[in-house]
Amino acid sequence: MTKEFENQVVFITGAAHGQGRETALAFAREGAKVAALDVAKPLSYPSYAFGTNEELVSLQKEIESLGSEALILTADVRNSKDVEAAVLETISKFGKIDVLFNNAGICAYGYSHELTEEAWDSMIDINLKGAWVVGRYVIPQMLKQKSGVIINNSSIAGLRGMNRLSHYAASKWGLTGLSKSWAIELAPHGIRVNSLHPTGVNTPMNDGLAAMEGATPIEIAERSAGNLLPVPWVETEDVANAVLFLSSKKSRYITGSEFVLDAGLLTR
């Protein structure tokens, strides 16, 4: 039986752990070849643990154990030269890029008037500029193919304000606008673009944020969310399922949309 994404190529940022890793494995189970990119090193801001090269290597082994091909790549999405090299390496190895999941991102708390410039710039540059940088190099390949799907991982914070998360919300609202603008620009070329808006997701980032705040992950989830359904967060597989749907033929006429995965939070 043919798998849904047989022989398709998926490029995923922030792939070492969390939402990116789960999505990479979900695509691999459906036959996709996966280019998995991660910064794979600590950053000065925020101070919680990021993905590692060891996690990338183990991801590659997992993907290969599923019978699919994997290419692991290390780059900071803010670095145009390194991102360009990663995209070119992917095209050289696999010949195309069918799906881009712009997932790399950070989060940290702070009142707007108390943020340092480093905090503001890091949030905007990784979450928003980074998605644009990756798209800048992937989109020309999709234009050549006259096909492709781009999913930008925003947040509920890309649709509402957030206490002590103004820089995060600004970056995620920016992703919403970027997605809609790309959708307009790229629709004539057969390329669809949507933004994904999860509530809190059960990832290592939750643990990192909790440690920085001196709280438990459950306390952070409850303080930040207030989901309508009685769950503190959604799981990484829920995000992966949404990305696969938005990348599939089942959603062939969905573009320029905000796909909300919020356990009812925004209904309140």
What is the per-residue DSSP string for 12-47? Answer: EES-SSHHHHHHHHHHHHTT-EEEEEE--S--SSS-
Among candidate residues 154, 155, 115, the one with its CA nearest the CA of residue 131 = 154
Question: In whole angstroms, what is the distance from residue 95 CA to residue 84 CA?
Answer: 15
Is 72 part of any domain? yes
Is position 118 within any domain? yes
Quick: pLDDT tens for 185-230: 999 999 999 999 999 999 888 778 888 888 888 887 777 658 999 9
For residue 240, give its domain range: 9-256
pLDDT in tens, 63-86: 999 999 999 999 999 999 999 999
- Please tell me which residue in 45, 111, 168, 253 is annotated as part of the active site: 168
User: Do the domain assignments include residue 45?
Assistant: yes
Averaged pLDDT score across all residues of the chain: 95
Percent of the chain with pLDDT over 90: 88
Contact 258, 194 (CB under 8 A): yes
CATH assignment at residue 15: 3.40.50.720
**218 with 4: CB under 8 angstroms?**
no
Identify the sign of the CA torsion 46, 48, 53, 58: negative
In a domain, 99, yes or no: yes
Provide mean pLDDT across the span 144-169. 97
The total number of structural domains that make up the chain: 1
Q: Is residue 1 part of a domain?
A: no
Tell me the helices (H) and strands (E) count for the chain, helix number first.
9, 7
Q: What is the pTM of this model?
A: 0.96
**Number of C-beta neighbours around residue 67 at 10 A:** 10
For this structure, is 45 an active site residue? no
Q: Is residue 219 part of a domain?
A: yes
Residue 13 lies in a domain: yes
| 264: in domain | no
